[in-house]
Amino acid sequence: MVVLIKNCRVFSPEALGKTDVLVLGDKIAAVGPDLSADFNGKVPVDIIDGSGLIMIPGLIDNHVHILGGGGEGGFRTRTPEAVLTDFTLNGITTVCGLLGTDGVTRNMASLVAKTEALNEEGITAYCYTGSYHVPITTLTGSVMKDIMLIDRCIGVGEIALSDHRSSQPTYEELSRLVADARVGGMLAAKAGLVDIHMGGGPRGLTMICRLIHETEIPYSQVLPTHINRSRDLFSEGLDWIKEGGYIDLTAYGLGKPSSDVPAAEGFTRILDQDPAFDHVTMSSDGQGSLPKFNEKGDCIGLGVGSSATILENIKDAVRKGLPLEKVIKPVTSNIASLLKLKGKGRIAAGYDADLVLLDERSLDLVGLVAKGRILVRDTKAVVKGTFEI
């Protein structure tokens, strides 16, 4: 009910220095020095000594296959469903769940159920309606109704473009889909954002650019993801930011040689051209399949994404000299404002009490508070998913 974290180095994401944070219920009540919480012993107060620790806002992973995904190599390659500690032990307090290649054995009813389950278990979960395939398969029969009438549905995704697994939507189909998502979102005071899976195909961002250039739809309505999957696509992404667009990097596992642009390098190049660093987000593709295809398009290998890569890439970027207060923006305040997630993405009075405590030197996860509840304490999960042992 009441948590007081004393003497912690707080990044809200801005660097606030050493200060205290008071949590009442599921909200941050106050941020500032010398806070106390004494109710004459009538109310239990959980006091955490934050010395030697850094506090950042709970991380927001905007692209997670919470039901599991995959299947590109046949039924045995359908990837496993996420469990609560996949997120909490990696600093994630908010996720946006979605479907991918397989929009047949994975469906919106199950996605909404899993989204609700994660909210009941302790974090905040939203979802997108649809999957790779356009026209999208909705739950209520229309994109606008899904966004307006499903409480946790905040937009559409992930629809696939420039990819051999895409349904090859026409420009007209894409523009109608984005237009419906926009108006549905507007009518429900939600972002109505369309999360767009970018494949490695030569058409790149052309259809998205055409849509924004030829219609009245604003840049903030679409978020091309996996933008760092190739150097060519990433260069298009840099140009897209330059003209006002938003891009989402996938937080790849470190150390494996591949064609992608690692987040640390991507962030550096974005900061060079846009010091404000407001138009970039990052997501894990957690539980999504990471398939490898040969030149004939046959699946020759398959990995599984993990939400752990978000914090790993934050650490890597800081190790390479990027400032922490910048590096956490793509997974806190930037994505919270793009997705219009009220109360999310910042450490300030009135915001949701989603807080992550990291070791000051290693940036390893030490603690996590979600909606005011301590879910991780002294690096251990003190709250687990329903069937986690």
The answer to whether residue 133 forms part of the interface with Zn ion (CB under 5 A) is no
Query: Which pair of tokens denotes residue 318?
Result: 């800081």
* Cβ proximity to ligand FWO, 48 vs 302, nearer residue: 302
List 86, 248, 285, 354, catalytic entry? 285
One character per residue 230-269, x = contact with ligand FWO (rule: CB under 6 A): --------------------x-------------------
At closest approach, how far in Å is the CB of 303 from ligand FWO? 8
Stretch binding ligand FWO (CB under 6 A), from 206-214, 241-249, 281-289, 306-314 = 281-289
At closest approach, how far in Å is the CB of 372 from Zn ion? 33
The answer to whether residue 65 forms part of the interface with Zn ion (CB under 5 A) is no
The answer to whether residue 229 forms part of the interface with ligand FWO (CB under 6 A) is yes
Q: From start to end of the chain, where are the E strands? A: 2-11, 15-24, 27-32, 45-49, 53-57, 59-64, 92-97, 124-129, 153-161, 193-198, 222-225, 247-250, 280-283, 289-293, 299-304, 355-359, 365-370, 373-377, 380-381
Q: Which residue is nearest to ligand FWO (CB)?
A: 100
Q: Which of 13, 70, 91, 345 binds ligand FWO (CB under 6 A)?
A: 70
At closest approach, how far in Å is the CB of 58 from ligand FWO? 24
Stretch binding ligand FWO (CB under 6 A), from 32-40, 65-73, 202-210, 215-223 = 65-73
DSSP letters spanning 306-365: -THHHHHHHHHHHHTT--HHHHTGGGTHHHHHHTT-TT-S--STTSB--EEEEETTT--E
Stretch binding ligand FWO (CB under 6 A), from 24-32, 236-244, 282-290, 364-372 = 282-290
At closest approach, how far in Å is the CB of 355 from ligand FWO? 30
Active site residue 285: yes
Which residues lie below 8 Å from residue 129, measured CB to CB, with a gap of 6+?
A: 108, 136, 138, 139, 143, 146, 147, 150, 153, 155, 156
Phi, psi of 236 (to 5 degrees): -60, -40
Which residues lie below 8 Å from residue 300, measured CB to CB, with a gap of 6+?
A: 292, 293, 294
Task: State the Cα–Cα distance between residues 183 and 190, nearest whole angstrom.
Answer: 9
Cβ count near 304 (within 10 Å): 17
Task: State the Cα–Cα distance between residues 97 and 111, nearest whole angstrom.
Answer: 7
* Cβ proximity to ligand FWO, 57 vs 199, nearer residue: 199
Q: Which of 57, 288, 330, 367 binds ligand FWO (CB under 6 A)?
A: 288
At closest approach, how far in Å is the CB of 281 from ligand FWO? 15
At closest approach, how far in Å is the CB of 226 from Zn ion? 6
Stretch binding ligand FWO (CB under 6 A), from 4-12, 63-71, 177-185, 186-194 = 63-71
Reported as half-sphere exposure (CB side, CA atoms, 13 A), residue 300 has a value of 7
Strands of the 222-225 sheet, one edge to the other: 59-64, 92-97, 124-129, 153-161, 193-198, 222-225
Contact 312, 263 (CB under 8 A): no
At closest approach, how far in Å is the CB of 89 from Zn ion? 24
The answer to whether residue 197 forms part of the interface with Zn ion (CB under 5 A) is yes
Find the radius of gyration of the CA atoms of the chain: 20
The answer to whether residue 290 forms part of the interface with ligand FWO (CB under 6 A) is yes
- List Cα–Cα distances, 29 to 1, 13, 35, 78, 225, in angstroms: 12, 17, 10, 43, 35
* Cβ proximity to ligand FWO, 54 vs 67, nearer residue: 67
Stretch binding ligand FWO (CB under 6 A), from 43-51, 98-106, 209-217, 331-339 = 98-106
The answer to whether residue 284 forms part of the interface with ligand FWO (CB under 6 A) is no
List interacting residues with Zn ion (CB under 5 A): 158, 197
List interacting residues with ligand FWO (CB under 6 A): 65, 69-70, 100-102, 197, 226, 229, 250, 285, 288-291
Catalytic residues: 285
